Structure 1
Amino acid sequence: MKCPWLLLLVIVTCGCQRQPEGSLMASFVDEYFDALFEWSPSTATSIGFHQYDSRIEDLSASAINRRIERLKQLQSGLMRARSGRLATTEDIDAQILDSQIKAELLDLETLQTWRHNPMNYVGLPGGAVDGLIKRNFAPPAERLRSVISRLKGVPALIDAMKANVQNPPHEFTDLAFRMAHGSVGFFRDTAAMWAKDAAGSDTSLLSEFDAANATAAKSLEDAADWLEKTLLPSSKGSYAIGAGNFSKKLLYEEMVDTPIDRLLAIGEANLERDYNAFIETARKIDSSKSPMAVMKSLSDDHPMEVSLIPDAKRTVEGLIQFINTKDIVTIPSQVRPNITETPPYARSGTFASMDTPGPYEEKATEAFYYVTPPEKDWDAKHKEEHLRAFNPAVMTLITIHEAYPGHYVQFLNAKQFPTKTRKILYCSSNVEGWAHYSEQMMLDEGFGAGDPRMRLAQLEEALLRDARYIVGIQLHTAGWTVEQGAKFFEEKAFQEPANAYEEARRGAYNPTYLYYTLGKLQIYKLRDDYRKAKGASYSLKNFHDEFLKQGGIPIKLIRRILLPDDDGSTL
């Protein structure tokens, strides 16, 4: 299951003193992560701790109850570790870990997503195996043995899903079916092809893989059948977590305690500004058409299915040149990410993503910029609507977000952070906020040479995140249906119907996906306050470099580091 603060690779830091060796806090940090990796071996693999590679998660009810008890023990241990005086770095780590434990307990005990979201189960096998095959951190035959071991655990995962999941929302089951169905092809095609090369001349090893892989694929095929024919007809549960849980989730995961009514008002005001700017920019392009028609006309120039990845690759070099020429931010490495299709098991509501090597990965350096193609079984209209979202201007903005200077540049800093906690944990309002902030900032600094088409695309991307901000709150605290959310995406964010529905459905299972706009607004306020504090010595590049040095910690904590005397609001 995905920890609220955890990603395949993570980042966080403080430019202060290191944790004293042998301190209570240092010992607790090791204890916390040892317990985390025992619970989530695939997370350990992604971060670079390969002693867990031969294991896969146990999501049985008994294992989940043991995890809950362990978290409560860790909570008590953290209280003891915090009883003495802590160094600044230790205090920040303690706040992060306290929030992480509370967030996970909220998820497991109160929200119980393990009882209501089958996606947690069917998405895990593909990710656990892909994490072993896509990076060359060990000889292929060694990794193949770990793959075989994980494959043997897939049937138990599917059994746990069937035993645990009760009356999920229809939207969750429908997506889980799609994920399970896609994973079958991943195992039978992608994994099988890799294993054949990895086994080399060892026919007995390949035979062992073939048997385990066939069983795992069959388990996922059976899971897809069960999801479609047994669970889907009876999936009538509510996805809404309620205002109280929404506020707690936001507090524990993002350290944001703004009341929901004020949070909503901030989001609505921001959407109105972006909406009006979108209308004005569309008129500059063609005043004879409606704004929606102008945006649609830009999307007429979109990639074909076969050119989607090549088109994404062509956006990279111009962005790097602009960043270096304009002194936007330091790029710590000249290594480029690999741009390829999103794996089938990871395509639930995602158009693009970045997957970077873990901060403790010593050998494998591959990073993957994933772009999601249309599904093979979609009809022509659905495929067309999906591809229209990748017109040239939007594709460039996606690369800004995912790579330069967005996620990839931020993640290139990960290994330098001084504490274990800050290398491994992050919060979404920082990471997604930085990437979303980068889209507007790059155009404000002159990228695109004032082309109104580029600005219109940037505003469309902003409106998409603004709509997520509002729809997430309304779905979970005000009784909105997914259909109401989809209509909002169409009317206020100018989304095509198919994409609007996917976006709204994502909000059903990702309640706080407001973190894109939330983080962006926090970064802009921090930048303004930092500029005032620095006066004549302020530079944009220095602000960006200092921000990224702090890693993925909540922006509330970054304010404490960059503005030590500040007691202002993050919004």
Structure 2
Amino acid sequence: MNTRAVVLSACCLFGACAKQVPSPAPVEPPRASSSQRSETFPELVDAIFAASFDFAPSNGTAVGRHAYDARLEDWSRPRIEARLRELEALLGRLRAVDSEQLSFDERVDARALESQLLAEQYELGVVRGWETNPMMYAGLPGGAIDGLMKRDFAPKAERLRSVIARLKAVPAVFAAGKANLGTPPKEFTDLALRMTKGSVGFFEGSVATWARDAAGGDAALLAEFTAANAAAISAVQDYSRWLRDELLPRSTGRYALGEERFLTKLRYEEMIDLPLSELLARGEANLEKDYRDFVATAKRIDPRKTPAQVMHSLEDDHPTAKDLIPTVRRSVEGVREFLVAKDLVTIPSEVRPHVEETPPYARSGSFASMDTPGAYETKATEAFYYITPVESDWDAKHQEEHLRLYNAPVVSIINIHEVWPGHYLQFLYAPRFPTKVRKLVSVGSNAEGWAHYAEQMMLDQGYGDGDPKLRLAQLSEALLRDCRYVAGIKLHTAGWTVEQAANLFHEKCFQQPANAYEEARRGAYNPTYLYYTFGKLEVQRLARDYMSAKGTSLKQFHDAFVSQGSLPLPLVRELLLR
């Protein structure tokens, strides 16, 4: 999972949180009168992002705009309704631009902006996850605070003052959630409960420890933090009780979007515009192809066992709970060394990511993720490769099934996806993306598609020296994404239950039952997670077309692709093949 914020997405599940005091309806940035010069495209781009950061200040922090550090989102109904009016006005201004007066690159950027503004408008106005997903509110406070603590972009005391400002807003986060939420799906409320339980420990432990160090000898500053943190912890605990006692009993809502909303969401967010039948056929065909390859590879390893038994035998060699993070830390550098030796892509930085536990507030079903500095971050270079540990309240069977995922061959593939040359490499290029739009807009089919493409590409180029166990691991990860593709469509357009989807993950993707259920439940709240496989297939097709048209090497394609940012893939195709 790529955790870098898509700046124009207002309702991403784990953004930041509400402002301390609800703000009035935003004033639209002034436009030039008829007697003045017309608004230029760069000025309009600036206005669009200024409005976006005003609505989601924690995204400003995430991309390196630190004027927003002490501000937090207001997700009250009046503010969201004001944002919807603002989006309509911004879309009108964007559509009023004379495209004939724009350069080729500006026309591409304008289309990307329109698509993302439409996606946010559709999410807020039609899908309305802020009325149905308590996970949004559960994850907001931790994400907002952690974003200030973990990167050293300013003196600690200065960042502590911003932490305090955001802590004071935490009660407003949950007040907005209580006011907005109606009858969510039970699956969402269950996960929100897990997240709030983890958040209490996060604020009591990690945040308090960091703050004591950051305050130094300033007793008054520490006292102000202590009071704000205590109020935040109380608010989290109160929200957790409310989830359990009031929201869970009425969590009878349906997660399924239906065909029309599913396809519209996909078209706006990813610029994927296919009939449902064709979209599903692609996913099912790739699932069957990868399944056949998996079975054949398993027979190469041990023809006496079933494919599932072969995969389980790989999983037998896994780290303990205590050694999980150290094991991953030791394994990352070898992938980079291969990438350099084979000269497959230009690596623009020597900075390495930190391997850490997934923060408790973000443990919503993912097993690994990458959190990188924003494109405008000039001081802090810290990037975090997160691995999700076992939970203390899991039984022994669940813990064992979770740890089995982190066997050595699979961890190697995850390292490729998350770090080299997947998410981390792509985002090392972010400061040099050619335009502001390409620095600040990111879509899943590009970022996740590239990272998933990298898994197969690295083995095809010789990583692992043809080890069938590593190929089986790569195919297991491919099957996982294929099952996400099919499950997402079936969950939201064909009436599938989470249990039916979990069975698909278990039977066709060889996932352990506990992991299969986590993956299936993710599809309930992340309906378009087909973007992994769809994106991979599109990047593969673009690689073939680019090298054929330009007569270039694979490295030249990789350098060209990662240099353009994470725009929707149809736009990247136009940029590379113009």
TM range (shorter): over 0.9
Deviation (angstroms), 1:417: 1.5
Query: In structure 1, how many angstroms separate the alpha carbons of the residues matched to 2:487 and 2:359?
Result: 27
Structure 2 residue matching 1:314: 3-state secondary structure = helix
Which residue number corresponds to residue 326 of structure 1?
Answer: 342
1:34 to 41, 44, 50: 50
The C-alpha deviation readout for 1:465-505, integer Å capped at 9, x for no partner, is 00000000000011101110001110110111100100000
Query: In structure 1, how many angstroms separate the alpha carbons of the residues matched to 2:70 and 2:342?
Result: 47
Deviation (angstroms), 1:531: 2.3
Query: In structure 2, how many angstroms separate the alpha carbons of the residues matched to 1:234 and 1:449?
Result: 54
Which residue number corresponds to residue 477 of structure 1?
Answer: 493
CA contact (8 A) 2:321 2:389 kept: yes
1:340 to 328, 331, 356: 356
- The answer as to 2:59 corresponding to 1:53 is no
1:530 to 540, 546, 550: 546
The C-alpha deviation readout for 1:246-288, integer Å capped at 9, x for no partner, is 1111111111101110010011110101000000000111111
> Could you say what the CA RMSD is over the residues aligned between the two structures, in angstroms?
1.5
Query: In structure 1, how many angstroms separate the alpha carbons of the residues matched to 2:208 and 2:38?
Result: 46
- The answer as to 2:521 corresponding to 1:501 is no
- The answer as to 2:556 corresponding to 1:539 is no
Runs of 5+ consecutive residues of structure 2 not aligned to the other structure: 16-36
2:157 to 136, 141, 152: 141
Structure 1 residue matching 2:575: 3-state secondary structure = helix
Query: In structure 2, how many angstroms separate the alpha carbons of the residues matched to 1:359 and 1:2?
Result: 12
Amino acid at match of 2:239: A
2:381 to 365, 376, 381: 365
- The answer as to 2:570 corresponding to 1:556 is yes
Which residue number corresponds to residue 350 of structure 1?
Answer: 366
Which residue number corresponds to residue 258 of structure 2?
Answer: 242
Amino acid at match of 1:393: P
Amino acid at match of 1:155: P
Amino acid at match of 1:364: A
CA contact (8 A) 1:116 1:168 kept: yes
Deviation (angstroms), 1:81: 2.5
- The answer as to 2:108 corresponding to 1:92 is yes
Amino acid at match of 1:552: S
TM-score by length of 1: 0.95
Structure 2 residue matching 1:81: 3-state secondary structure = coil
Which residue number corresponds to residue 407 of structure 2?
Answer: 391
Amino acid at match of 2:328: A
Amino acid at match of 1:85: Q
Query: In structure 1, how many angstroms separate the alpha carbons of the residues matched to 2:263 and 2:270?
Result: 10
Structure 2 residue matching 1:315: 3-state secondary structure = helix
Deviation (angstroms), 1:418: 2.2
Deviation (angstroms), 1:515: 0.4
- The answer as to 2:410 corresponding to 1:410 is no
Identity of aligned residues (%): 58
Q: How is 1:436-475 mapped onto 2 (pairs within 5 angstroms)?
A: 436-475=452-491
Deviation (angstroms), 1:40: 0.4
Structure 2 residue matching 1:526: 3-state secondary structure = helix
Q: How is 1:97-116 mapped onto 2 (pairs within 5 angstroms)?
A: 97-116=113-132
Which residue number corresponds to residue 569 of structure 1?
Answer: none
CA contact (8 A) 1:5 1:428 kept: no
The C-alpha deviation readout for 1:124-167, integer Å capped at 9, x for no partner, is 10000000000111111110000000000000110110110000
Amino acid at match of 1:362: T
Q: May I ask how many residue pairs the two structures share in their alignment? A: 551
- The answer as to 2:338 corresponding to 1:309 is no
- The answer as to 2:439 corresponding to 1:423 is yes
Query: In structure 2, how many angstroms separate the alpha carbons of the residues matched to 1:346 and 1:201?
Result: 32
Query: In structure 1, how many angstroms separate the alpha carbons of the residues matched to 2:161 and 2:270?
Result: 39
Structure 2 residue matching 1:340: 3-state secondary structure = strand
Amino acid at match of 1:483: E
Amino acid at match of 1:104: E
CA contact (8 A) 2:6 2:443 kept: no
Structure 1 residue matching 2:369: 3-state secondary structure = strand
Q: How is 1:480-491 mapped onto 2 (pairs within 5 angstroms)?
A: 480-491=496-507
Query: In structure 1, how many angstroms separate the alpha carbons of the residues matched to 2:38 and 2:513?
Result: 57
Amino acid at match of 1:115: E
Structure 1 residue matching 2:355: 3-state secondary structure = strand
Query: In structure 1, how many angstroms separate the alpha carbons of the residues matched to 2:9 and 2:459?
Result: 30
Query: In structure 1, how many angstroms separate the alpha carbons of the residues matched to 2:156 and 2:465?
Result: 47
CA contact (8 A) 1:25 1:82 kept: no
Q: Higher relative contact order at CA 8 Å, sep ≥6: structure 1 or structure 2?
A: 1
CA contact (8 A) 2:6 2:442 kept: no
- The answer as to 2:218 corresponding to 1:202 is yes
Deviation (angstroms), 1:332: 0.7
Deviation (angstroms), 1:22: 8.9
Which residue number corresponds to residue 22 of structure 2?
Answer: none
Which residue number corresponds to residue 14 of structure 1?
Answer: none
Which residue number corresponds to residue 78 of structure 2?
Answer: 62
Query: In structure 1, how many angstroms separate the alpha carbons of the residues matched to 2:516 and 2:7?
Result: 27
Q: How is 1:265-280 mapped onto 2 (pairs within 5 angstroms)?
A: 265-280=281-296
Query: In structure 2, how many angstroms separate the alpha carbons of the residues matched to 1:421 and 1:278?
Result: 40
2:195 to 169, 179, 183: 179
The C-alpha deviation readout for 1:296-352, integer Å capped at 9, x for no partner, is 011000010111111111222211111111111111111110111110011101101
- The answer as to 2:244 corresponding to 1:228 is yes
Change (3 A) 1:262 1:4: farther
Deviation (angstroms), 1:2: 7.1
